Amino acid sequence: MPIVAPSSENLDRAAKTLRDGGVVAIPTETVYGLAANAMDARAVAHVYEIKRRPSFDPLIVHVLDEAMLGSVAAAIPDAARALIARFWPGPLTVVLPKAAGVPSLATSGLPMVAIRMPAHPVARSLLERSGVPLAAPSANRFGGLSPTRAVHVAAQLGDAVDLIVDGGACEYGLESTIVAFDEGVRVLRPGAVALESLAEVLPEVRLDRREAERPIVPGQLPHHYAPRTPLRVVAPGGGSSDERARAGFLGFARPAAGYAHVRVLSAAGELREAAARLFETLYELDALNLDRIDAEPVPEVGLGVAIMDRLRRASAR
């Protein structure tokens, strides 16, 4: 399981691996993805196997351009085109009717497919060099912390991956926002594009917090994005002093006293910085063999909505 730099030679090697049905961990601007040829059912099945992901949880398909989008989506409503024009390439996923060539496994048998056009230069280079759409869920074990560095991928997946391309730390550190257009314009997963930004283009957009009986997009299960260490969302100083002495604290802008280890997401209180540091900071605390992690709530505006979505799912047991 080599971790390689994104040299031209290594990118060619990774692209050939993808064309040949292999699985490659790649950097994107959101989190690292576990990429495979989205049009190859055997390769997609291998992604599910590596992640230990249940087959009822669909994947996101990544495309390079309009031409590749046309090979994956059967139709694109005007509302989707408006968001695509504003936010692609970037951390936005749209849910569209799937084209006939997309394997049913990639969409968990659903007639819709989640599609994103990434902005990261390494991801885009691999899409171009391989010439195929890439199914690329987060490169981790199912339900675990999303990886924002190549070493996170190696720690979780090890030799199960054919290749890991190291593109450095992810810019956003938070998964894409997912928008569907079947019942108006609704956000199914808050993410790196804030609801307020979407509303500048489509004022009718709304956040759909309903729990689905089965996921129709990634990230809808109640328990997800979780460290191994039990996590709870509490105000600073919760529990007894003895409990805090064996616990870690994940603060938004300020530290808290009495904890064995403390990490702060953004000393300046900036939600963009906090989002970018969320998973990486949880990885740090998770490696310290603590009894638990106390996470301070963040303001639920802008990217704070997505941060709190991840923390609530990580704390659900």
Domain spanning 231-315: which CATH class is it, in words? Answer: alpha beta
For 157-174, write each residue's pLDDT tens digit. 999 999 999 999 999 999
Secondary element (H or E) of residue 134: strand 134-135
Q: To the nearest whole percent, how much of the chain has pLDDT over 70?
A: 97
The per-residue pLDDT for range 62-71, each reduced to its tens digit, is: 999 999 999 9
* Span(s) in the chain for CATH 3.40.50.11030: 231-315
170: which 2 tokens?
A: 């992810």
CATH 3.90.870.10 boundaries in the chain: 3-207
Instruction: Indicate the class that CATH gives domain 3-207.
Output: alpha beta
Query: Cα–Cα distance between 287 and 227 in angstroms, integer?
Result: 9
pLDDT per position as a tens digit, 27-52: 999 999 999 999 999 999 999 999 99
Q: How far apart, in whole angstroms, are the C-alpha atoms of residue 196 and residue 168?
A: 29
Look at residue 237 and tell me whether its pLDDT is greater than 70. no
Please, are residues 160 and 21 in contact by the beta-carbon 8 Å criterion? no
